[in-house]
Amino acid sequence: MKKYAKTAQLSFLERINGGLIYILPSIFIKIFTLIALVYLWRVVMTSGVDVGMTLPQMLTYAYVSAILADMLVVQTAASGWLSEGVLMKLYGRPLPVFGQLAAQTVGGWVPELLMFSLPMILLAPLFSVNLIPKSSYFLLSLLLCISLGFAIELLFACLSIKLRNMNWLLGRMRMAIITVFSGTIIPIRLLPFGLSEIMRYQPFASLGGAPLTIFTGSANVPETILLQVVWNIILWPVAILVWKKSQEGMVSYGG
Amino acid sequence: MEGNRLPTDRITFKRIIKLLMIAAKVDMVWLLRDTRFAIMGILGDVINNLAMVSGVFLIAVRFGGIGGMTTDEVLFMMAYSTLVTGIFMLFGSSNNIHVSRIIGRGQLEHMFIQPLPLSTQLLTNGFSPFTSSSNFIVGVILMMIAINRLEINVSAVWMLTLIAYLIATMIIIIARAYLVSSIAFYAPVAAEEITYTAIDETWLLSTFPLSGMPRFVQIPLMTILPEGLMAWFPALILLNKIQAGLLAYYPMLFALLSALTAGYFFRKGLRYYVQKGSNRYVPYGFRR
């Protein structure tokens, strides 16, 4: 466990070793985006259209989505396996590759949790946002979301191995898919054209959207948790199997 | 370098066009050599941008508009945003707008040995009409749909106004990229991706209609972080939603001031870089 903690610490230091000042622009933009998003939802929700969510629920949804963004849609260094030397780093150390990847990812979350999420949690009352979860199942749902996020990330990483030099492209497509399908930006139940009914059962909906709806009390908790468990049970064996096969296909030079 | 230039290398409009054609040819060669990758890249760009703008548009559809803007007006704004992305990609595919990557990676040296001024290279080498025009085309189509639905009278003056705002928006984006990239001259590792932060991470914010938001949100988004000038404010003017008077020229003024500021700091950083060089490469070629 100590080795994983050290890996996480190294990842944390890697993010800030250029100096904290270089993370500030990103934090600054996130704060601006979150404030604008809160007011965008205020403007939208005052239109009076009934969408099955109240204004306080919507504000909480948007706020928690921003402060837990890294956990709700897990992104690891795995998509840069071949082009960024990640492969060489991870295989050269006496630790399981996936364990390192997980520790590295979690360590990378820390700077933003400290510099963005924590201050914004403290400032939440200023925006009249309630950050008390409506159900204690939120934590379980968050853990299932993170677990599923790693499985999906592993599958995308395998795809980048298969397609060799397309990791940048895959990253963009992945981001596009998740932006629309995970419900982290727009709650799935708010989608028009009857899309919400179709979209709630696809795997990406069990990522960020699931814990967020539980947090705000706008979900059917047993059904949401069950869907998350089912997608974990389906996707993890697939991810491990594809991963085992993909390892042999890795080709990299430089880094 | 500029003093040693041959008479045939004089930078004229014709020369710029020729250089753009060379960049286009390189782009076409890439498309033909690696068609599968290129087509997937084109699709990826379109999907990514549509996902980005569709978020706000879907909200507008669901709620019948946002803050006094109708769904079609929001569509117009999203079309403008997509056009901006399209122009950005059409002329900026060689990191020539994400210039902190070139500086941070020590690749300016590669440009110094070319018999062309740095500014000319940066202006022309990112032109990729074959692989990066998809968003521009999608933007034009969306714009035509929005114009049709809103029954806008498209006169020559209206078209020129649209072009003027698009140019102003592009100048603001490029100036911001070059301003923040100046930091990469001093801290190449830490600031290599700073243009990504300054441009790409703000893209979502630039799709927000600011109509109906309080002044303390609108004003910073028109000054400190001018995301309101990326689509929302130009859309309001082009749709005649506000009688702005002289304020209609604000994006142009902001573009001018941004360009002057960026030019000053970029030149200052470049002088520093020329004296100190880059430490990014070890002698056997790997990047630190």
ipTM of the complex: 0.82
- Residue B288 resides in a domain: no
Q: Encoding tokens for residue A200?
A: 């709630």
- pLDDT surpassing 50 at residue B20: yes
Contacts (Cβ under 8 Å, ≥6 apart) of B80: B139, B143, B165, B166, B231, B234, B235, B238
Section B191-203 average pLDDT: 88
Which CA distances in Å does B261 have to A109, A142, B159, B179, B265? 34, 45, 29, 7, 6
Q: Is B118's pLDDT higher than 50?
A: yes
Task: Evaluate if residue A177 carries a pLDDT over 90.
Answer: no
Task: Judge: B58–A51 Cβ closer than 8 Å, yes or no.
Answer: no
The answer to whether residue B283 sits within a structural domain is no
As a whole number of angstroms, the distance between CA B249 and CA B242 comes to 13
pLDDT at B177: 95
pLDDT at residue B5 in the model: 56
- Token pair 């504000």 in the structure block, residue: A59
Contact B201 A44 (CB under 8 A): no
User: Are the beta carbons of B210 and A179 separated by less than 8 Å?
Assistant: no
pLDDT band at A85 (very low <50, low <70, confident <90, very high): low
Half-sphere exposure of A65 (CA within 13 A, CB side): 25
A13 interface with B at CB cutoff 8 Å: no
Over range A157-184, report the average pLDDT: 78
Residue B7 CA, distance from chain mean position: 32
Q: Which amino acid would we find at residue A112?
A: E
Backbone angles phi, psi at A47, to 5 degrees: -70, -15
Alpha-carbon distance B211 to nearest alpha carbon in chain A (angstroms): 8
Answer whether residue B269 is part of any domain: yes
CA distance B245 to B267: 35
Count of domains forming chain B: 1
Helix, strand, coil fractions of chain B, as percent rounded to 5: 70, 0, 30
Residue-number span of the structural domain to which B146 is assigned? 10-276
Residue A54 pLDDT exceeds 80: yes
Residues 60-89 of B with CB under 8 A from A: 61-67
Please tell me which residue, A16 or B127, carries the higher pLDDT value.
Answer: B127
**Nearest chain B alpha carbon to A194:** B62
State the pLDDT confidence band at A252, using cuts at 50, 70 and 90.
low
Neighbours of B204 (CB within 10 A): 19
Rounded to two decimals, what is the model's pTM? 0.86
Average pLDDT rounded to a whole number, residues B153-177 = 95
Chain B CA closest to residue A15: B190
- Residue A211: per-residue pLDDT: 94
Using CA atoms of A180, B197, A87, A228 in order, give the dihedral in degrees to the nearest 10: -30
Rounded Cα–Cα distance for residues A151 and A168 (Å):
19
